[in-house]
Chains A and B, each alone.
Chain A
């Protein structure tokens, strides 16, 4: 494993770490809202990875203004994709939270172990 490359790609490594933290929360934490926070952390970590892909040295935002040549701009595609991704993330969260409200009405708890018995979700 090439550690100097990993350090150079620090943003990628941190997003991998955040992804794992989110996944841990989703799978282990019993509280449903906690799980959703973990899901959101996972999502933003992937977004961080994609946005970091587009960076170039001394890059400028991809907006045509005076004094910014196209070769100085960062890659706009990841940004366009992530714009979609953020909206998708908030949509999923909204649906999940409405489900949480319903679950709390039926079970009077948000603890996965209490809702499901021993196995959890």
Chain B
């Protein structure tokens, strides 16, 4: 009964959607409203005004920087929500270096991961720092940092990764993405221009561009570190297994 009602509703929604698809501007054409109104300025002036060769980076950090501030707040609130629901990982856990079934990861996996993680982190750093000119940026870099921590945790176990990244070191930096945005915004206000304006008055020549790219870089690094730590903390809070605490240490082979 419920299924039939749902299916009927879905059919109605589907017909409405198909109707919209039939009436929508043709795909893959140049003369649709979205490509003639706001975008030309972004594409033509994006490098000089927005301060980034990668127009998307310019749009998300500069033209729509306020949105991106909201976006980093979204992941921060997701972290707060996860912690509020699940609590932080416990600090003292004794069973180290084993996976869930109590089996130590093989030496090959451990060695490979030990070499892989620095490379992945290095790649993430490249992505964060070079997001201005190539695809990538703070979020992508942050997600990759998070992924590297996940790999590390899977192989070396939760205690090892909480030892490497203790809670006290993580908490102050989790909100750094928002603080980066706010700091740059307040600098703008202090100089008498609008919030999140990177072109400060009273500067001349190439200094304007330099200051702007430095400010964008601060925000980008903030997003990278903050995003990476948030993903790390969410995953660590979720993999926390309460049974870990109760079991004695397994002797290392």
A residues whose Cβ falls under 8 Å from a Cβ of B = 1-3, 5-6, 8-13, 16-17, 19-20, 23-24, 27-28, 52-57, 61-65, 70-71, 73, 75-80, 83-84, 87-88, 90-92, 94-95, 97-99, 101-102, 120
Classify the interface of chain B: helix, strand, loop or mixed.
helix
Are the C-beta atoms of B39 and A77 separated by less than 8 Å?
A: yes
Q: Do B64 and A53 touch across chains, with their CB atoms under 8 A apart? A: no
A interface: dominant SS:
helix
Q: How far is the CB of B187 from chain A (nearest CB, A)?
A: 23
Residue contact B71 to A87, C-beta cutoff 8 Å: yes
**Cβ–Cβ < 8 Å partners of B56 in chain A:** 62-63, 76, 79-80, 83
The residue on B at minimum CB distance from A88 is B74
A73 touches B55 (CB 8 A): yes
Whether the Cβ atoms of A88 and B71 lie closer than 8 Å is yes
- Extra contacts, 4 of them, besides A56-B28, A63-B54 (Cβ < 8 A), are A1-B22, A9-B22, A53-B25, A53-B34
* Contact for A87 among B27, B42, B54, B74, CB less than 8 A: B74
A16 and B17 in contact, given A23-B10, A88-B71, A92-B78 (Cβ under 8 angstroms): yes
Question: Known interface pairs A5-B22, A12-B21, A94-B78. Does A76 touch B85 (Cβ–Cβ under 8 Å)?
Answer: no
Complex formed: what's the CA distance from A27 to B8 in Å? 12
Give chain A residues whose Cβ lies under 8 Å from the Cβ of B86.
98, 101-102
- Number of residue pairs spanning A and B whose beta carbons lie under 8 angstroms apart: 156
How far, in whole Å, are A73 and B6 apart by their CA atoms in the complex?
42
Q: Cβ of A64: which chain B residues have Cβ within 8 Å of it?
A: 46-47, 53-55
CA distance A64 to B134 in the complex (A): 9
**In contact, A83 and B139 (Cβ under 8 angstroms):** yes
Chain B minimum-CB-distance residue to A50: B34
Which residues of A are found within 8 Å of B42, using beta-carbon distances? 76-77
Asked if B55 contacts A63 (CB within 8 A), the reply is yes
B17 touches A20 (CB 8 A): yes
On chain B, the residues within 8 Å of A83 by CB distance are: 56, 60, 71, 139
